[in-house]
Amino acid sequence: MIMMKKFIFSMSVWLAVGAMSIRANEGMWLLQLMQEQHSVDIMREQGLNLEAADLYDPEGVSLKDAVGIFGGGCTGEIISPEGLILTNHHCGYSFIQQLSSIEKDYLTEGFWAMNRREELPAPGLKFTLIRRIEDITARIQKDIREGTITETEALGDTYLKKTAKELLEASDLSEEKGIDVQALPFYAGNKYYLIYRKVYTDVRMVAAPPSSVGKFGGETDNWMWPRHTGDFSIFRIYADANGEPADYNENNTPLQTPKHLAISLKGMEEGDYAMILGFPGSTSRYLTVSEVKERMDAINTPRILIREARQQILREEMEQSDKIRIQYANKYAGSSNYWKNSIGMNKAIVDNQVLETKAEQEREFYRFAQEQNSKDYQEVVGKIDERVAATSPLLRRRTLLTETFRTGIEFGAPYSLLDQLLTAMEKGETEEIASLTTQIADAFEKVHNKDYDHEVDRRVALTLIPLYAGLVEQEYRPEFYEVIEKEYGGDMEAFINRMYDQSLFSDRERLERFLEAPSANVIENDPAFIFRRSVADALAAINEELAPLADQLALLHKTYIRGLGEMKLPAPSYPDANFTLRLTYGNVFSYKPRDGVHYRYYTTADGILEKEDPENREFQVPARLKELILERDFGPYALPDGTLPICFLTNNDITGGNSGSPVMNGNGELIGCAFDGNWESLSGDITFDPEKQRCINVDIRYILFLIDKLGGCKPLIDEMTVIY
């Protein structure tokens, strides 16, 4: 109780004073706290020309009304009064792929809607704006004090969803259409916020460059600089007659937005102020040394091994068939991105001496704990290390299991539905059997969709199932490996081929015949059912062991992060990213990755032609783009020297989820779109290195050039607010 009272006092100081001592470009800051932290004053000294209310105003219009969540894991910004959304090409990629076919290959050819009628509905795509954010810490701490919940339960989804629902029902937004709400912990549960969100469900594709532009450089250039990638796509929000969220309807009209970002073509110079507003997904800046090692060895390394093996197969298959290339384009891109990220993170942790930095922080914290005469603070790191020693082998096994059988291999049987069917058949529940057979048929269609190839997946299974067996001790493998030993003489290939050839779920007609007259014996002996149920059982066993350890670690982190915040006073501390709206501020900046190498802060179209390689799909240049570059037909988008800017660097603090975020100047005008980080800073989710960390952005002038000159969509630019 004494420590809680102490923290409540110190947190208010933490958030209110001493902001000048924090490195200006470090931190993903909560908008609603920036006034309390005096951050706006610092930003104004660096070049911001806006007031705090221009950034975040819960009762009025501000920048937060022009920036939202695009889909489920990216950021997008509204760039016209009629609901145009700008985001990355790689953020829109799954929807571009979904709408593509051999006949209409938008991945290869690009897509440019010449009028509203040509804008394509993107099924499942949502755009989410933030309505309001409220501090609910006092309410949750009251529940903990009164014993309504425990500290651990307060961090759990069940309690937080219940609390969010109750608060929404009691709020003035309860009747507003499209509103949902989240209650989330910040600072490991030392603070809690309630976030009201407005979700639009009719979002349509408007423009996307060909992948040779939007993914120029491909896997080779991913996380690298210099960069020449036109990583953008354009979508539009549609709403009902009242301007409210509505599912797709041909009568819906473009959303008339209260706020959109003006676009500046004035460019930038090195050192200019730059800020990014977006939804960074996840950082772990407050890990201990043991936890960083766990991230390297139990998560990154096994992920690298499994994904590398799968991607090699997908690459080979995609190179041989346009059909498979389109089917697996999004799957491959998603897998490759964090495969390379994991490689880069492990390397950067070593190169940037992250473990040494964390060790020094722990020593400093222990000295602080002694000064405070706090037993809890003195013991907390040691207790974390003890739990990590127990969680690391479990996490490694879980990573291997999920990467192999959840992410890697797609085929299998809906084991839980089949288990329910077995129970219903035993009880003779006719209506339940009929309902389950319908659900099972639907489950078949979800796997055997237009983006799945049975033979490609078979090849993946033939590689990954033996690979997994070589990485995991026999006692920890799913039970189907025992079936292989006993019934197939250890012949994994024979089991896999039988599963892909003879399972109920390998053939639609076979499944339909079974569903007409279900048999318990057929279910229990189906290899895909045996396979999937045993994988689920193995995962459940790991999670059961991990759960109490994770709960203990959560409470220890709450103590550790509270202590670190007190140790840093009067400097403010920022909470880890958790896919909530954050602002980062910094400058346009070049960088020196290693001795003898210095990169300037921008690239030009000349580099596109220097990298061009017609024999390499990653570096092919569309004929029309090459023609425009050679003719220097850049219009108003050129630099004073006549070259065309492509990408630029800032030292903003970003991570995954910031993809698509607007990069703005001091007037809040759009100058670029964030899309990547640099290789040398891939330890940035764990620790921020101001010398190495850079954010890679597409220059807005290149985006408008592509829309205008390559796509021929000048009317799109005419509906934007462009400052020349």
DSSP state of 582: E
Is residue 125 within 8 A of residue 712, CB to CB? The reply is no
**C-alpha–C-alpha distance, residues 203 and 538, integer Å:** 39
Find out whether 546 and 555 touch, Cβ atoms under 8 Å. Answer: no
For 375-404, letters b (16+ CB in 10 Å) and e give eebbebbebbeebbeebbbbbbbbbbbbbb
Q: Cα–Cα distance between 623 and 467 in angstroms, integer?
A: 43
- With a CB cutoff of 8 Å and minimum separation 6, the contacts of 641 are none
- Give the span between the Cα atoms of 548 and 532, in whole angstroms: 26
Specify which residues 664 forms β-bridges with: 275, 670
**H or E stretch covering 420:** helix 415-427
User: Does the active-site annotation cover 38?
Assistant: no
Residues 504 and 524: their CA atoms lie apart, in Å, by 11
Q: Confirm if 376 and 705 have CB atoms less than 8 A apart.
A: no
CA dihedral 501, 502, 503, 508 (to 10 degrees): 80
Write down how long the chain is.
724
Please report, for residues 69, 90, 94, 238, 635, the alpha-carbon distance to residue 202 in angstroms, rounded to integers and kept in the order given.
14, 20, 16, 5, 34
Catalytic residue, from 65, 202, 221, 231: name it. Answer: 231
| Number of C-beta neighbours around residue 628 at 10 A | 19
User: What are φ and ψ of residue 415, in 5° steps?
Assistant: -60, -40
Helix/strand/coil for 24: coil
Q: Encoding tokens for residue 226?
A: 């210099």
Catalytic residue among 39, 233, 342, 659, which? 659
Annotated active-site residue in 90, 228, 448, 557: 90
**188: helix, strand or coil:** helix
Nearest CA-CA partner of 675 in 40, 215, 83, 85: 215
Q: Note if 231 is an active site residue.
A: yes
Describe the crossing of helices 354-371 and 322-351 by its angle, rounded to 10 degrees: 50
Query: Could you give phi then psi for residue 101, rounded to 5 degrees?
Result: -150, 175
* Three-state SS letters, 223-271: CCCCCCCCCCEEEEEEECCCCCCCCCCCCCEECCCCCCCCEECCCCCCC
Instruction: State how far the alpha carbon of 108 is from the alpha carbons of 61, 103, 476, in Å.
Output: 39, 11, 44
- Do 208 and 87 touch, CB atoms closer than 8 A? no
Structure tokens given for 72: 């489920």
Residues 238, 202: contact at Cβ < 8 Å? yes
Q: 480 with 472: CB under 8 angstroms?
A: no
CA–CA separation, 103 vs 15, rounded Å?
A: 56
CB of 352 closer than 8 Å to CB of 687: yes
Residue 416's DSSP bridge partners are none
Q: 206 — phi, psi (to 5°)?
A: -115, -45
Q: Which residues are catalytically annotated?
A: 90, 231, 659
